Structure 1
Amino acid sequence: MNAKLVSRGLIGTRIFLAAVFVMYGSIKLFGGQYYYGDWAMTKQTASGTGMVWAFFGYSPVYGRFTGLFELVPALMLLHPRTATLGAAALFAVRLNITVMDFAFDFPMVKYFVLGYTLLALVLVWHDRNRLRLMLLRPVEVVSLLSALDASGAPPRSEPAPGRRA
């Protein structure tokens, strides 16, 4: 596949997910989406969706906290240096929401959420080598840096002992 096309697609995916989750996160931060205030419901009279919105809205602090965990990774997606961490964080948050939406039988929106989760997974998968580098021990980083030649070309050796490529 054309590398330029893949690169543009990944940038487009990052911008799309950032726009979607800046919106969702902001709505939650400003007090929307959840049922705040007084309410009364039972399992017999409330839908799964209503129960979830009431649970998250039971504590306005927690409800806004969930918005922060959508907003911050979304903003991280917009900068190439933080995009990998943003995608990983957003994937973790989205995976939880996806399972919740299917478990509580949310309406059609659960399929959109699944799509967003899969898009975040694509970003994480594409940057999996960057994530691996973040998990190296300091001694392994020093070893990699010392193996670089004067031209800056990467070493042509096997991975560090105990690590798989």
Structure 2
Amino acid sequence: MITAPLPAAHPEVPVHDQPWPWWRRFTLQFGSLYLALYFLVGVQGFAPLPDPLRFALADALSRALFQAPLPPPAGPTGSGDTALDWAWTLALLLVSLLGGAVWTVLDRRPPRPRLTLTLSQVLRVALIWWLAIYGLSKFNFGQFGLLGSGQLDTPYGESSPMGLLWRFMGASPGYQWLAGVAEVLPALLLLHRRTVTLGALVAAVTMTNVLALNLFYDVPVKNFSAHLLLSALVLLALDARRLRALVTGGAVPAQERRPQPRVMTALAWLATAALLGAAALQARTGLAALHTDRQRTQVSAEPLKTRGFHWVNETPYNR
């Protein structure tokens, strides 16, 4: 018996070749442009523009949109939330919106996997760098310091919100170290491709707490910390299908990934060793500073006051 041949099965269209709605393409393309620009030339960018040029461009934008000149910067303040910083961030946002719109109109193809890979790498580098910087500074008490007699003598009601937070952190060296671990740990996880999603999750939790402290204690790093949190959330969004499957118990196809070059794997482990070594050195410096502080307390004429205690009567004393 002769039978007709079965029709050839159509292979499943790869995910990256399936059509994307315009809004999805725009979101990815605009977001990629904005985050790349922000970490390159934005607040605390890796290659910032000269301040006079940045001020001139931001001032022109302020005059065009709000009919008001931008207040001139008062010199280095250590703040990342000045009017110039926010106006410059708005300028980068508008440029990215325009660039994303043009990109979406001119290129209607589904974005190539290379785009999401590049975006992921940029965000990983930014998060690793800044989480490591802030985390290491806590091991040697460089960010919050240790409580001194001048801080202890400041009346509670005269404390600024930020000053109150700084004294709260400075009162506990151990808690500062714990905060440092919460920032260095995700940096270590983000160094390795297999643990990127876990690192992004830990970074998102850490940066949510940091942003909340900056917002509600008026620490002038709100702009930058919000973008670090956004970066961690974007990394999680890039792996949303697998995270959703983890929560719902579903299944997703295995990701097609090219083998990572051995040199990149070696560099990741070298960076891991360097970061752990730096953490150990900073912790050693912090222990030395803590030992010196304890010795100063012991030889003080009023040792209890240097530790935050005050006499009420001879026995007992309380805080």
TM range (shorter): 0.7 to 0.9
Distance (whole Å) between structure 1 residues aligned to residue 213 and residue 141 of structure 2: 20
Unpaired segments ≥5 residues, structure 2: 1-110, 256-319
Distance (whole Å) between structure 1 residues aligned to residue 156 and residue 112 of structure 2: 53
When normalised by structure 1's length, the TM-score is: 0.76
Distance (whole Å) between structure 2 residues aligned to residue 130 and residue 18 of structure 1: 23
* Matched residue, 1:87: 200
Structure 2 residue 174 is matched with structure 1 residue 64: no
Q: Percent identity?
A: 32
* Matched residue, 1:158: none
Q: Is the 8 Å Cα contact of residues 25 and 71 (structure 1) preserved in structure 2?
A: yes
- Of 218, 230, 235, 1:123 maps to 235
Structure 2 residue 124 is matched with structure 1 residue 11: no
* Matched residue, 2:145: 35
Question: Which structure is richer in relative contact order (CA contacts within 8 A, separation 6 or more)?
Answer: 1
SS in 1 for 2:144: coil
Unpaired segments ≥5 residues, structure 1: 154-165
Letter in 1 for 2:173: P
Q: Which moved more, 1:43-52 or 1:12-21?
A: 43-52
SS in 2 for 1:81: helix
Distance (whole Å) between structure 1 residues aligned to residue 189 and residue 227 of structure 2: 20
Deviations 1:25-72 (A, max 9, x none): 111112211131332233432221111111112110111110000001
TM-fit CA distance, 1:19? 0.9
Distance (whole Å) between structure 2 residues aligned to residue 78 and residue 47 of structure 1: 38
Deviations 1:64-101 (A, max 9, x none): 11000000111101101111011001001101111111
Distance (whole Å) between structure 2 residues aligned to residue 10 and residue 84 of structure 1: 10
Distance (whole Å) between structure 1 residues aligned to residue 201 and residue 145 of structure 2: 29
* Matched residue, 1:162: none
- Of 112, 134, 141, 2:224 maps to 112
RMSD over aligned CA atoms reads 2.3
Letter in 2 for 1:53: W
Q: Which moved more, 1:88-97 or 1:125-134?
A: 125-134
Q: Is the 8 Å Cα contact of residues 69 and 93 (structure 1) preserved in structure 2?
A: yes
Distance (whole Å) between structure 1 residues aligned to residue 128 and residue 165 of structure 2: 24
When normalised by structure 2's length, the TM-score is: 0.41
Distance (whole Å) between structure 2 residues aligned to residue 105 and residue 95 of structure 1: 15
> Aligned pair count?
142
Distance (whole Å) between structure 1 residues aligned to residue 199 and residue 239 of structure 2: 11
Distance (whole Å) between structure 1 residues aligned to residue 247 and residue 140 of structure 2: 35
Structure 1 stretches (4+) deviating beyond 3 angstroms? 132-137
Residues 1:129 and 1:105: Cα distance change in structure 2 (over 3 Å) = same
Letter in 2 for 1:63: Q
